[in-house]
Structure 1
């Protein structure tokens, strides 16, 4: 019998270069971008439906989250000039370039919306900025999924069909979690509904993604990534369940639900980040799927 192959590479090096991104910076960037995008949508909704506390919290949350997200990105890049240099060209085929332009347009809008809210002046400008930020918000919440899937990293690339939906759901639970944790219960109706919809989308899309990814899904269930992603599922499901009944249970239940949803969203982004790094380090996740795709096209014998 032929012994089972051991996968290695020349001089013991991985087939792919290990992602050099720092976990705190880039996983934090992924989480904070989603939180900002969902918060902008809730801010616009709160303003349109006469929920001032919800609108105020969401505006401040969006501005704070996108500011921290940009700070994490610039810290990982090494110096601000590298981010500015990405704006020297417009390249529709590059998710990084389009994302840079998206952030350059979105971040000032959130800051104007938050500043006018705090100052209590220039309300027309604040309303316009809030509405404009909400238009860009869905792209802000999901473009990072496209960014990481547009790489050769197996556990990211193989999930390219579902990852934007996973990130959209995760963003919704984060934005709803912030509102539940900080807004009076009487004004959290939209946040509770957003939490339920976001959790259903995140958990459902993640389950479909894992089934479809095949071998590349293995790092999502092992090691540090596996622990984080299991925690994410428990926190998101538990937070959504608490959020569903938080309207009649008082401020404490809403705060616990919101904290769980925020933690679950963060754990998901960090788990997916670490799974990608693990898949890049092990040649099996690159070599075996390539062989299977080749056999599917040519047949096992190559004919």
Structure 2
């Protein structure tokens, strides 16, 4: 008993308050990821590269997909997740994938060596050097569940709010509250490369930045003459970023909580297992920056 003028909340009221904040959503997401064998941390802190202050990501998870300790070579999976409780749906505006989308390495993933080179003896100039990104040399853009094979390409993210019985779009806070923190977290958690020649270790890091929403998710192909809003379970998104600390195209996946298990199974684990299998065929390729001859399939 207390002398307070207001009553104590009961259990349902406490849980209801927590539900509205999204804290319970974070814990549920963390539990679901942990059940798949990931090491999981909630509220993982990192230093903001622009402001120098501490920030945190809702859920951080890591798991080794494959490794050869004798050669110090491994394939890691990272999940960097922001959780958003939303009463309104999110909408991803997109377009049809183009040729670049079919081959380009998503920014969040890290290759131990960014590219490989070889002397083109068939070229007009005998010293001609050819270059191919490691992502494409390994053929990761063609593997099952590769993001390069997606049929949708998101370019903008908005949230719908119901105002005076009409749905209105709002993206004023999404970029600053979600996209930028995710981008900074990805850079903060990116593993270092061994720049020695040849490198003593190699880490191929598959990092998946994810926005998990408790609400519905729609996708609209803006290139269609008569676009329609298609309800989807998850979709990939790419945004052009230009900041003092980082510049480039930043990728993230937007996933409904209801489909989180499907996303983790069919995108994250399926693609990571395919990459691990490809690396295991010849692990030394992850330490090889120069080729004696052009790749056989070029």
In terms of fraction of residues, the more strand-rich structure is 2
TM-score calculated relative to the size of structure 1? 0.33
TM-score calculated relative to the size of structure 2? 0.33
